[in-house]
Structures are given as structure tokens and as C-alpha cells.
Amino acid sequence: MTTINHRVTLARRPTGEATADCFALESEQLAKLEAGQVRVKVEYISIDAALRTMLYGEGYHRQFGVGDTIGSTGVGRVIDSASPEWEVGQAVRGRLGAQTFATVGPKDIAAVDENLGPLSAHLGALGGTTGLTAWIGVRNIGKPLPGETFVVSGAAGGVGSIAGQIAKIDGARVIGIAGGPEKATFLVDTLGFDEAIDYKHEDVGERLRELAPDGLNVFFDNVGGDILDAALDNIALRARVVICGAISQYDDMSAVTGPSMYLRLAERQSRMEGFALFHFKESYAQATAELAGWLADGSLVSPEDIMEGLERFPEALEFMFSGGNVGKLMVHATPPA
């Protein structure tokens, strides 16, 4: 059995983009387990947009200290256990960190049911920060009705691709906003959205007016900034604007640009509501059951974008922030050569 853990740590706090030199790859000897501890071989590491917000010294969400292992969520398998609660071979999910082996307490991990989907799906369609987030934002906040127009930004990414499909299952007309012609084609041809807007080459406001002349009933926002303003300018009466995230703002959280078009909310009797998935724990079981059902019957497509090798973790984060990923981005935590 291997005795070395490889891990990605925060080498320095980024100013602006989180580039590869902000991270370090370190190795350490694995110690013998203490009573109660569990050792997990990490298989897949979730690349989440919110990780960027955790690299600041203070502020939004949790923070990582310089020298800390990046505390990302992952899935893996128990390979050693000094806890009566866990057996070798069990598949688990938790904040395993960007590393090849996680040594955790018995309450730091949760079992995943591989009958519902393969390990990677438990970060993707069945993952908290992906499928469950999409489900909660659509079902608990946006609540699209059949025939309503539902628009989602970051539409080809992990959360957006699933949010749009759930709205479609619920009978809405779905328009996705993403960067580049390939992603626009993917939204319509692979995910079954009704329309797509390529924000890198098209004027979002103009396209929304063309595609939704009666206005947007629900806007599910993952991006913020100019795209949020273009959407607000085009909301219908009694629209619901769901603030899931604002990736366009994460590289400089000290200068977040707020929406200048917010008075449309007053004019059109609409509301804007943010949410964080952990406030909706009571929805997890139902969301997981429905998402698993849709995966099983083929009504939900769950694209995954998997990079091979732990050492590519920094590259993966840069890839996401430059819009490289299609679907849920993760790193397969194979050790560096």
C-alpha cells in the first residue's frame, strides 16, 4: 500500500486571476491512523467556481490559509478505517481536499449510493454544488411554470446545464447564455434547450428582446455583471431573478459591480432572491431522488469534463475561469508521475 499523500496547497493569495503559481504540489508520508480516523483514496475532486472566493484572506464563504491543502469537495473510497462507522471499500463524499489521500474524522464523510450513479455523478448531477444547487434554485426559488420563459447564464457549466434541463422538464421554454458558438450549439443539440445566446459574440440584451419579446419570467444567474443587467432590463411582470452566483465578479471581490438595472424590479413587480444550497437541507433527499430518476430514465443529460492528474488542479481552476469547461468540471486525482 502506498504511504505517500500528494496534495495541492495555497502557495500565495491571488490578486486577480488565480494562476498556477498561486498553488504548490507537496508530498508527505501518511501516518498511521489514530482511533476514529478514516483514510479515503480520493478519486474525483470537484472544481467549483466558489473555490476562487475562498482564496482571499477574509470575506465571502470559508477561507484557506497559505500553506493549507485546498479544501475542495471530492468523492473516493475508504481504504483504511479506525472507526467502527466505516468499512474499507465504502464509497464516500466529503470535503476531502485536493489530494490523493484524505485522512478524516468519521463525521467528515457521507456514504454515497453507487446504485444511483457512478462516483463522478455524485459530484455532478447528484452533487451538492451542482445538481442539488440547480434543483434548489429552480424548484425553491425560480419556480418556472409551464410555458414561462426561463433564462439561465453560465448555461453550459455544471449548475447551469442542469438548471436549464430541470426548467425544461417543468415545462418552461428555456434560453441558455454561454460563451462561444460550440457551447451555444451544445445547449440546443445536446441539452435540448429551446434557444441559446453566445454572449461572447452576440449582444445579450438585443438577443433577449428578440427571443423573449414578452420578457423573462425566470432568470437563473450564475454570472452577474453585465449579463445580469441585460437580463434585468428584459424581465416580465412578476419575474423571479435567482442569484445562484456571480462568477464574473470572483476575481476581485473587493470591487463587485452591482446591477444598475435593478429598478426594473420595482417597475415590473418582480423579485430578486439569492440562495445558498446549505439553507435547503430539507430538500436534499427529494432533489437527489428526482435527479437520480431523471438520470436513470435518460431525461437528464449530465455532461462531465474530467482532467486527469492531481497536478492539473490549478490548470483546471484557470480552465473554468476562462470558460473552457463543458458541464461539471472535476479532476481525477491520480498521483503525479
d(Cα 162, Cα 191) in Å, to the nearest integer?
9
Query: Which of 178, 236, 330, 333 contacts ligand NAP by CB under 6 A?
Result: 178
Query: Which of 72, 81, 100, 133 contacts ligand NAP by CB under 6 A?
Result: 133
d(Cα 161, Cα 327) in Å, to the nearest integer?
7
* One-letter identity of residue 203: D
d(Cα 64, Cα 205) in Å, to the nearest integer?
38
Q: In the window 136-155, what residues touch ligand NAP (CB under 6 A)?
A: 154
CB of 284 to ligand NAP, least distance (A): 12
Query: Which of 174, 329, 330, 331 contacts ligand NAP by CB under 6 A?
Result: 329
Asked if 159 touches ligand NAP (CB under 6 A), the answer is yes
Asked if 231 touches ligand NAP (CB under 6 A), the answer is no
Here's the x/- map for ligand NAP, 180-199, by CB under 6 A: it reads as x--x----------------
Asked if 306 touches ligand NAP (CB under 6 A), the answer is no
CB of 320 to ligand NAP, least distance (A): 5
Q: Which range binds ligand NAP by CB under 6 A, 20-28, 176-184, 286-294, 310-318?
A: 176-184
Burial of residue 284 (number of CB atoms within 10 Å: 0-12, 13-18, 19+): middle
Query: Which of 13, 17, 83, 275 contacts ligand NAP by CB under 6 A?
Result: 275
Q: Which 3-state string (H, E, C) describes 105-141?
A: CCCCEEECCCCCCCHHHHCCCCCHHHHHHHHHHHHHH
Asked if 325 touches ligand NAP (CB under 6 A), the answer is yes
d(Cα 285, Cα 291) in Å, to the nearest integer?
10
Query: Which of 73, 222, 270, 302 contacts ligand NAP by CB under 6 A?
Result: 222
Q: Which range binds ligand NAP by CB under 6 A, 7-15, 205-213, 240-248, 294-302?
A: 240-248
Asked if 303 touches ligand NAP (CB under 6 A), the answer is no
Asked if 244 touches ligand NAP (CB under 6 A), the answer is yes
Element (H, E) at 218: strand 216-221
Count of residues that interact with ligand NAP, criterion CB under 6 A: 31
CB of 250 to ligand NAP, least distance (A): 7
Reduced to 3 states (helix: H, G, I; strand: E, B; else coil), residue 332 is strand
Sign of CA dihedral 328, 329, 331, 332: positive
Q: Which range binds ligand NAP by CB under 6 A, 9-17, 98-106, 127-135, 167-175?
A: 127-135
Please state, in angstroms and as integers, the Cα–Cα distance from residue 302 to each residue in 161, 320, 327, 329, following that order: 8, 17, 7, 11
Sign of CA dihedral 185, 180, 164, 261: negative
Residue among 283, 312, 260 nearest 137 (CA): 283
Q: In the window 95-124, what residues touch ligand NAP (CB under 6 A)?
A: none
Asked if 66 touches ligand NAP (CB under 6 A), the answer is no
Residue among 275, 333, 289 nearest 47 (CA): 333
User: In this structure, are residues 261 and 232 in contact, taking their beta carbons and an 8 Å threshold?
Assistant: yes
Report the residue number, 78 or 138, with the smaller CB distance to ligand NAP.
Answer: 138
Extract the C-alpha cell encoding 266: 420595482
Q: Which range binds ligand NAP by CB under 6 A, 110-118, 186-194, 281-289, 321-329?
A: 321-329
CB of 273 to ligand NAP, least distance (A): 11
Site residues (vs ligand NAP, CB under 6 A): 48-50, 129-130, 133, 154, 156-160, 178-180, 183, 222-223, 244-248, 275-277, 320-321, 323, 325, 329
